[in-house]
Chain A
């Protein structure tokens, strides 16, 4: 039934990308200035794509809703970026990175794309170092590495707990260079509100200037969407407040299929929820699981006493602690993949062992005491002291921890008012990343010709679960090393097209629709704020389309979101005017799209009658609570075609996933 053509090149997997690149069409340098390209979003994928396309000589317009491209949410990624460099000589290779990523994704990603990602991973590090990205180094001057979840090698490059920041500033510097040279026109504080199609091809966008409210038409020969993920559909997530699905969703409504929307990554180590006015959740990097041990009390009465404030975690004896990840998954221990770690935390808290005194008692400990002792002892030995006192050991150990994770510890202390050097961190899973996104072929082109999708906004590389430190890798791989080739191939047929006019009926219609919706919100005169509805949607999503899903819950979610959406359009109040900076209007336009997406996520979760990666259906688990995948019936990417506001009309297209180079097997981290 599939009409999806993934355009995977022929030939052995290790040669596909090279052969494909050799066959792609080129645009001669003298023709490139005649061609316009729009890039929406300036995170790792967008900034790197815009910089590369500008450098090649195309006329690039880049858009971001923030006040500067440097603010995009890639900046918040903490832990690191993977690359198969094997600098640590621990047996790493392109194949292993490929294999780990496919397995980590629970065998729901496309082999050819993932192999290419692993193949170019080394170039990313070379490129970034050449740009002056200050990665962490060892005393010999070589790059340092650490380990992340779901792997048994050290391939993660990092810059303290601010790797995303350093990589984004690297891409931003490349982008800034092109802006300075006049090759890229940067439009800050602009939000894309529709994609414009002419003769079935993506030919431009409608954007709102967020400062003066003007609705602008921008035409191009191709549009690259790098607008990030949709985790904010849950209201509370680790995403930035402005992160939204609007650009991708508008493309979906214009014909781009949306793939695997139900694959959401719930990150195991975030600071637990504290109250109803909370606006976002803060991640504590996965890198902390290199050094921290996760536990809850073995006895329920201890957990109760801790919640009541009668016991402190440091008073619980070693034998009364349940290091449940080490117990259940001895081979990977605290470094199991994120989905596994998150579900295990939920399982313990649901069973009554949670330690946080919030409404749901949801919280577990991440404890650094063992590591502080071990590293302190090591440091003392290195100083020639082979019998250090306990005080000295702990002092040196804290210093070691501070050097590795100082900024994370400080961040934790500022938020919680507790000192994690002295008492274990309290953590709990939170929505973090979305593996689903617009369906793309091998060329990263969506089902709309000329509409390309890069980074978290597409669905391509992480299957049902993303491994830590792989999002940064994918963003830069797409932007620097894939998009420039594949977009050029598409544009080779556009050299005779000429400038795309913006006075066509297609632009007229798209602009009118945007203006009408804005007018509708501003004159709605309802009684409740946008946040009121967003929070309600978030609760439905978290409770019924969150860490554990069931047929009944998902059906209820679809009904409840329908009702909420009706209420939203009837009763939302948006203050202010159209022709000014109006943050409430911006939020209303975004939440309107989340209210549609949420339903599609539930529908997708409903059809996927199996558990895999971040998608856990309560009906499909084994006796030990592990996921039960159904490869016979669900070894496909689910690509949804939009058919109107009634979600039941959305049509499912299946892309069968073929595993030729990796033997598909049950995921085992035990």
Chain B
């Protein structure tokens, strides 16, 4: 693969802080290696801005290998940009052409307020997890032997596929309703599929859904955009499973 260099124009959302009014600003960036990741391109732009004594663009990122879920960005109208099955840090500039204009915005959702520029506050996800995304087992290590309850491989695999969610929020950002049901459905499913999680399944789904509603996320209308944009390919089945769990729990709740 021979590396090439391209010149691009960027239209980027700038916003001083959560109270300030933001706007799209235009930047020209030359000599971008097509082997660079999208975030490395932004590093290059920031280096240029710093050298021009302008304020660099704030964006969230950390692991840069598609697993921490910290990077976000709405690129040319798509969560994590014009590729599937990846996060923004795994998006490479070979997806763009010389002369392209690229639009970069933060996640757009009422439940994810902008902190600065492209950085948003996703702590609503943490609060949903705190409402019930766990098994209530103490950390003594004095549990039963790990192999004492066999788990069918298909259940374990499905639980893993749901648990692969990285909590980036692309599902919310891409949803026209700003719904977090793919995120919550994945967590509910992981536990519902495993014997260890079944004991508290009813309370869990009720509590997590209540918190999800309180945070101001919208509802699901089965469009399926979330599944397409999810970097980890979390399936819509998880939303269906959560709905079943929720219905069962709501109908049979003893409280």
Contact = CB atoms under 8 A, between A and B. Distances in A.
A569 to B, nearest CB: 17
Contacts of A584: 50, 56
B65 A76 contact: yes
Given A179-B130, A415-B90, A166 B153 contact: no
A166 B65 contact: no
Given A277-B33, A278-B40, 18 more contacts: A66-B70, A73-B63, A75-B63, A127-B139, A132-B135, A137-B156, A160-B160, A173-B133, A176-B133, A275-B36, A480-B139, A480-B141, A529-B50, A575-B56, A581-B17, A581-B58, A581-B119, A584-B50
Nearest to A72: B68
Interface stretch (A117-125, A555-563, A633-641): A117-125
A48 B139 contact: yes
Interface in A410-461: 410-411, 414-418
A136 interface: yes
A567 B101 CA distance: 38
- Majority secondary structure, B binding face: loop
Contact of A138 (B36, B62, B133, B153): B153
A52 B16 CA distance: 39
A576 interface: yes
Interface in B8-40: 16-17, 33, 35-37, 39-40
A70 interface: yes
A141 B153 contact: yes
Contacts of A68: 122-123, 125-126, 167
Interface in B64-110: 64-70, 83, 85-86, 90, 92, 94
A128 B191 CA distance: 13
Interface residues of B, number: 83
Contacts of B160: 134, 136, 159-160, 166
A127 B163 contact: no
Given A70-B167, A581-B116, A130 B137 contact: yes
A414 B86 contact: yes
B146 A177 contact: no
Contacts of B69: 70-71
Given A67-B60, A141-B151, A241-B61, A124 B133 contact: no
Residue in B44, B85, B196 with the greatest tally of chain A CB atoms within 10 Å:
B196
A36 B94 CA distance: 51
Which size bracket describes the interface of A in this complex? 35 or more
Contacts of A179: 126, 130
A280 interface: yes
Closest 9 pairs between A and B when the two form their complex, measured CB to CB: A141-B150, A123-B141, A180-B130, A173-B134, A130-B143, A134-B160, A134-B159, A129-B146, A137-B156
B50 A573 contact: yes
Given A71-B70, A417-B92, A581-B115, A279 B64 contact: yes
Nearest to B197: A132
Interface string B117-143: 001011101100111111111111111
A395 interface: no
Given A135-B156, A176-B133, A411-B90, A275 B35 contact: yes
Contact of A87 (B58, B126, B129, B147): B147
B146 A126 contact: yes
A129 B196 contact: yes
B41 to A, nearest CB: 8
Contacts of B92: 414-415, 417
A211 interface: yes
Contacts of A70: 69, 126, 129, 167
Interface in A83-139: 85, 87, 120, 123-139
Given A129-B196, A411-B65, A142 B150 contact: yes
B164 A162 contact: yes
A51 interface: yes
A70 B2 CA distance: 37
B141 A410 contact: no
Nearest to B162: A134
Contacts of B67: 75-76, 162, 164-165
A126 B141 contact: yes
B251 interface: no
Residue in A73, A137, A186, A575 with the greatest tally of chain B CB atoms within 10 Å:
A137
A550 to B, nearest CB: 32
Given A134-B156, A134-B194, A240-B62, A85 B130 contact: no
B186 to A, nearest CB: 11
A73 B35 contact: no
A240 B164 contact: no
B235 to A, nearest CB: 15
A180 to B, nearest CB: 4
Nearest to B43: A279
Contacts of B125: 68
Given A172-B129, A575-B55, A414 B90 contact: yes
A401 interface: no
Nearest to A579: B17
Contacts of A166: 160, 163
A143 interface: yes
B190 interface: yes
Contacts of B121: 67
A410 B121 CA distance: 29
A524 to B, nearest CB: 13
